[in-house]
A and B are shown apart, each in its own frame.
Chain A
Amino acid sequence: MNPGAAPGVLRVQLQHAYPEGLCLDLDLELALSGVTALFGPSGSGKSTVLDCIAGLRRELRGGHVFMDGECWQQESSWLPPWQRGLAYVSQDPNLFPHLSVGGNLDFAIRRARSGGPTRGQVCELLELDALLSREPTTLSGGEQQRVAIGRALLSYPRLLLLDEPLSGLDRRAAKACLASLVTIQRELELPMLFVSHQLEEVQAIADHLVIMEQGKIISQGSLFELSGRLDSGLAEDEAAAAIIEVSDAQDDARYGLCSVTVDGERLWIPGSAARRPRRLRIPARDVSVCREMPQNTSILNIIPATLEGTQDTGPAHCLLRLRLHKQYLLARITRRSRDELGLSVGDSLYAQIKSSALLQESETR
């Protein structure tokens, strides 16, 4: 039996050299659960991989696609996209201009697999009720994208493919859309494959991460693990940040803060415990280190950490990997500071985290 034909996984193996220079060469195995993000710079081949999974690139002969034990593409056999039971949301909402919003949703319902979410359920999740009778061209970009996501959900896909779905939106609309996707994932337990070159988006939604560069996979693994590493390919990103799991949120209503526990230490973050923060994104640029416990500082969050490694990320800066207890933080400091403090692996330090930086906490799962 072909090892790709295992149930519960999506196996994509591709080899294809484009005349323009991109050379795709990858072998990817994804669990059909949660959110997997394909992350990498533009032109790294992420969208092509998605197209192959959707069956939109028939010309790519070198490789195969197996979905949950079924062969979708191998040598001359190829399952057309309309039989794959997928849905695809791209940067452009691609709403059918001859149909109203409701008509766009019905288009998907009429062709959907059975057993999916109801129209009412999806409209509630994405707040589409007020838009149903509108024409797509009268909607804002964010509204159009919500309709596109709703339409995709109503086809009850086995896997939802998202190709940079937020990059056409302004910051606010993108944030709202991202929050909707997180809610959808939680409510409908729909496996998603999310392509993006925005690290913040990816870290807000993904469980698994596949990092691509120039048509190849350079690393893959859980979001928590890869985010705290120096060699995963994420460290060079301007937005490099560690993702840590937190628990036991408690309000400090007097100051509009809530405290959470991270590996036995308390952290203060803006917001309310009612939002049940579980996952915290801590940007490396908002973390600094001291040799001794600082006194009389405005920084609320100071926790002991051990230096596990450093890596230069440019002419002036370097990145530190800091172990708390089980979890890891990243800190971006100047190379000069590192040398003046004489930092070396194994040193016991204090990590200072600006609380205001933790606003971007995401409340997933």
Chain B
Amino acid sequence: MSATEAQALWLTLRLAAISCVLLMLIGTPLAWWLSRRRGNLAAFIEALVALPLVLPPTVLGFYLLIALAPSSPPGRLWQALTGSQLAFSFSALVIGSVLYSLPFVVQPLQQAFRAVPPSLVRVAATLGANPRDQFFSVVLPLTRRSFVVAAALGFAHTIGEFGVVLMIGGNIPGETQVLSIALYDHVEAMDYASAHRLALGLVVFSVLLLFALYRGGGWRISR
């Protein structure tokens, strides 16, 4: 493995891990809220969350590129706060990844939350558990398996993304060059041996992860 590849692997893992943590932090309350609401607002938010499932990644990447550019308000704010540019940075990759992988975290959690019988939550309430307590002592233990599924899917999907990363991250080794882009570089350079190594590595990793998930019960709600 070359030094650039090692760098790309480390960057990819770091991106996936950070995105995964952020995804769980954002996705859990969002999924909880969506699981409790029915109505136009909830349906609209649900549709927004699901967008990355149907849109070409380049569309999302294009809009993010515009939104994060130094001339845009978020880009300017970021520059004022951190002193560095947001577009084509690792942080931009994280933002893109989180948005892009959100449905893979929110949907399994939302389904799991909906499957928790409301009567159990009510019993917990009458026994003196406040909403926070109800969530941590009843809902969370009953949906534990779905949290594993959501986190694994969020992590794996971040590793597998290409289009958004290319649009908003460019291809800067050590800063924004992740494995999928390193692979693309190898193919462009006709270095098929290296391309094979990376491609096979990603296939094996993905198969192993998904196998472990489905063997453990997959999307079903754990009891």
Cross-chain contact A98 with B141 (CB below 8 angstroms): yes
- B129 adjacent to chain A (CB < 8 Å): yes
What are 14 A-B contacts defined by CB distance under 8 Å?
A: A80-B130, A81-B122, A81-B125, A82-B125, A94-B122, A97-B223, A99-B141, A107-B124, A108-B127, A111-B128, A111-B133, A151-B127, A155-B126, A155-B128
* Interfacial residues, chain B to chain A (CB-CB below 8 A): 117, 119-120, 122-130, 133, 137-138, 141-142, 223
Q: In whole angstroms, how far apart are the Cα atoms of A97 and B126 in the complex?
A: 17
Q: Which 5 A-B pairs have the closest CB atoms?
A: A111-B128, A98-B141, A88-B126, A81-B125, A94-B123
Q: In whole angstroms, how far apart are the Cα atoms of A55 and B130 in the complex?
A: 13
Which of A86, A90, A98, A155 counts the most chain B CB atoms within 10 A?
A98
In the complex, what's the smallest C-beta–C-beta distance from A55 to chain B, in angstroms?
Answer: 8
- A236 adjacent to chain B (CB < 8 Å): no
- A284 adjacent to chain B (CB < 8 Å): no
Q: Given A94-B120, A97-B223, are A82 and B141 also a contact pair (CB < 8 Å)?
A: no
* Interfacial residues, chain A to chain B (CB-CB below 8 A): 54-56, 80-88, 90, 92, 94, 96-99, 107-108, 111-112, 151-152, 155, 161
In the complex, what's the smallest C-beta–C-beta distance from A74 to chain B, in angstroms?
Answer: 20
| Residues in B neighbouring A97, C-beta threshold 8 A | 142, 223
| Residues in B neighbouring A88, C-beta threshold 8 A | 122-123, 126
Q: In whole angstroms, how far apart are the Cα atoms of A63 and B143 in the complex?
A: 37
Q: In whole angstroms, how far apart are the Cα atoms of A152 and B142 in the complex?
A: 21
Q: In whole angstroms, how far apart are the Cα atoms of A82 and B122 in the complex?
A: 9
User: What 12 additional pairs, Cβ within 8 angstroms, besides A55-B125, A81-B126?
Assistant: A81-B122, A83-B128, A84-B126, A94-B119, A97-B223, A98-B138, A107-B127, A108-B127, A111-B128, A111-B129, A155-B128, A161-B126
Number of contacts between A and B (CB, 8 Å)? 60
Q: Given A56-B122, A88-B122, A90-B119, are A98 and B128 also a contact pair (CB < 8 Å)?
A: no
| Residues in A neighbouring B137, C-beta threshold 8 A | 107
In the complex, what's the smallest C-beta–C-beta distance from B206 to chain A, in angstroms?
Answer: 31
Q: In whole angstroms, how far apart are the Cα atoms of A107 and B124 in the complex?
A: 8
Looking across the interface, which residue of chain B has its beta carbon closest to that of A135? Answer: B223
Cross-chain contact B142 with A98 (CB below 8 angstroms): yes
Which of B117, B125, B133, B141 counts the most chain A CB atoms within 10 A?
B125
In the complex, what's the smallest C-beta–C-beta distance from B168 to chain A, in angstroms?
Answer: 41
Cross-chain contact B128 with A112 (CB below 8 angstroms): yes
Q: In whole angstroms, how far apart are the Cα atoms of A94 and B119 in the complex?
A: 7
Q: In whole angstroms, how far apart are the Cα atoms of A87 and B128 in the complex?
A: 9
Cross-chain contact B130 with A82 (CB below 8 angstroms): yes
Q: In whole angstroms, how far apart are the Cα atoms of A162 and B185 in the complex?
A: 69
Q: In whole angstroms, how far apart are the Cα atoms of A112 and B130 in the complex?
A: 13
Q: In whole angstroms, how far apart are the Cα atoms of A112 and B126 in the complex?
A: 11
Q: In whole angstroms, how far apart are the Cα atoms of A30 and B63 in the complex?
A: 64
In the complex, what's the smallest C-beta–C-beta distance from B69 to chain A, in angstroms?
Answer: 47
In the complex, what's the smallest C-beta–C-beta distance from B108 to chain A, in angstroms?
Answer: 18
Q: In whole angstroms, how far apart are the Cα atoms of A267 and B13 in the complex?
A: 86
Cross-chain contact B142 with A82 (CB below 8 angstroms): no
Q: In whole angstroms, how far apart are the Cα atoms of A87 and B142 in the complex?
A: 22
Cross-chain contact B120 with A87 (CB below 8 angstroms): no
In the complex, what's the smallest C-beta–C-beta distance from A335 to chain B, in angstroms?
Answer: 46
| Residues in B neighbouring A161, C-beta threshold 8 A | 126
Cross-chain contact A87 with B223 (CB below 8 angstroms): no
Cross-chain contact B126 with A86 (CB below 8 angstroms): yes
| Residues in B neighbouring A55, C-beta threshold 8 A | 125
Looking across the interface, which residue of chain A has its beta carbon closest to that of B117? Answer: A94
In the complex, what's the smallest C-beta–C-beta distance from B125 to chain A, in angstroms?
Answer: 4
